[in-house]
């Protein structure tokens, strides 16, 4: 009997996004513009969050 291989971290992160996009595809059809907009929005949110974390780290280093 083979043991089941666990998912790697990238696979764990990609799977929910893939499911969301497939659900979106089912409800919208094959509208790639909507999918691209959601991906672009997600990237923008992640970039803004990263900038906020960096800013907070700089502030705490300056204050310490």
Q: In the chain, how many domains are there?
A: 1
Q: Residue 61: is its pLDDT beyond 60? A: yes
Mean pLDDT calculated for residue range 27-38: 72
**Is residue 57 assigned to a domain?**
yes
Q: Residue 19: is its pLDDT beyond 90? A: no
Per-residue confidence band for 55, with pLDDT thresholds at 50, 70 and 90:
very high
How confident is the model at residue 43, as a pLDDT?
Answer: 94
Show the domain range for 41: 31-64
Most trustworthy range by pLDDT among 19-23, 33-37, 51-55: 51-55
How confident is the model at residue 34, as a pLDDT?
Answer: 77
**Is residue 51 assigned to a domain?**
yes
38, 34, 57: which is closest to 46 by C-alpha? 38
Total Cβ atoms within 10 A of residue 21? 14
**Is residue 43 assigned to a domain?**
yes
Q: In the predicted model, what is the mean pLDDT of the chain? A: 78
């Amino acid at each position: 009997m083979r043991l089941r291989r666990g998912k790697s971290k990238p696979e764990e992160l990609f799977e929910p996004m893939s499911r969301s996009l497939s659900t979106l595809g089912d409800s919208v059809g094959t509208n790639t513009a909507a999918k691209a907009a959601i991906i672009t929005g997600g990237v923008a949110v992640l970039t803004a969050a990263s900038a906020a974390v960096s800013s907070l780290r700089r502030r705490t280093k300056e204050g310490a």
